[in-house]
A and B are shown apart, each in its own frame.
Chain A
Amino acid sequence: MAENRLIKDCKVVVIGGSSGSLEVLLELLPDLPSPMPFVLIVVVHRKNSNDSSLADLFSYKTSLPIQEVEDKDVIEKGHIYLAPADYHLLLEKNGFFSLDDSEKVNYSRPALDVTFESVADVCGRSSVAILLSGANADGTQGLKAIQKAGGVTVVQKPDTAKVPFMPQQAINQGVADWILDIPQITALIQSL
Chain B
Amino acid sequence: MYRELIQIEDAEVEHLLNDLFEWHGYDFTHYSRASLKRRITRLCSLDKFLSLAEFKYRIKEDKIYLKRFVEEVTVNVTEMFRDPSFYKTLRTEVLQTISAKPFIRIWHAGCSTGEEVYSMAILLKEMNLLQKSLLYATDLNPSVLEKARTGFFPLQSMKQYSENYILSGGRKDFSSYYTAHYGQVKFDEALGERMIFSTHNLVSDRSFNEFDLILCRNVLIYFDKDLQDRVLQLFDESLGALGYLALGSKETLKFSMVQSKYKQLNSEKIWRKIVS
B77 touches A101 (CB 8 A): yes
B38 touches A99 (CB 8 A): no
Which one of A71, A72, A99, A141 contacts B2 once the chains associate, using CB atoms below 8 Å?
A141
Q: How far is the CA of A2 from the CA of B11 in the complex (A)?
A: 11
B250 touches A118 (CB 8 A): no
Q: How far is the CA of A102 from the CA of B1 in the complex (A)?
A: 22
Stretch from A38-46, A85-93, A124-132 that touches the partner: A85-93
Which one of B3, B34, B75 contacts A101 once the chains associate, using CB atoms below 8 Å?
B75
Min C-beta distance of B83 to chain A, whole Å: 5
- A71/B35 contact (C-beta < 8 A), A100-B222, A141-B3 known: no
Chain A residues with CB under 8 Å of B250's CB are: 69-71, 84, 87, 99
Chain A residues with CB under 8 Å of B248's CB are: 71, 101
Which one of A69, A90, A137, A144 contacts B35 once the chains associate, using CB atoms below 8 Å?
A90
Min C-beta distance of A92 to chain B, whole Å: 5
Size class of the contact patch on chain B: 20 to 34
A90 touches B34 (CB 8 A): yes
Q: How far is the CA of A102 from the CA of B34 in the complex (A)?
A: 13
A residues 41-64 with Cβ under 8 Å of B?
A: 50
Min C-beta distance of B110 to chain A, whole Å: 12
Min C-beta distance of A7 to chain B, whole Å: 14
A71 touches B252 (CB 8 A): yes
Which one of A50, A101, A114, A173 contacts B221 once the chains associate, using CB atoms below 8 Å?
A101
Smallest Cβ-Cβ distance to A103: which chain B residue:
B77
A98 touches B35 (CB 8 A): yes
Residues 1-44 of chain B, each 1 if its beta carbon lies under 8 Å from chain A, else 0: 11100000010000000000000000000001111011100000
- A71/B220 contact (C-beta < 8 A), A100-B75, A103-B77 known: yes
B251 within 8 A of partner (CB): yes
Residues 140-163 of chain A, each 1 if its beta carbon lies under 8 Å from chain B, else 0: 110010000000000000000000
Which one of B1, B3, B75, B251 contacts A71 once the chains associate, using CB atoms below 8 Å?
B251
Chain B residues with CB under 8 Å of A118's CB are: 34, 38
Q: What are 5 sample pairs from A and B whose C-beta atoms fall under 8 A apart?
A: A2-B10, A84-B249, A91-B34, A101-B218, A137-B1
Instruction: Give the top 3 A-B pairs by smallest Cβ distance, nearest first.
Output: A90-B34, A100-B35, A102-B75
Task: Give the interface of B toward A (CB within 8 A).
Answer: 1-3, 10, 32-35, 37-39, 75, 77, 83, 85-86, 218, 220-222, 225, 228, 248-252
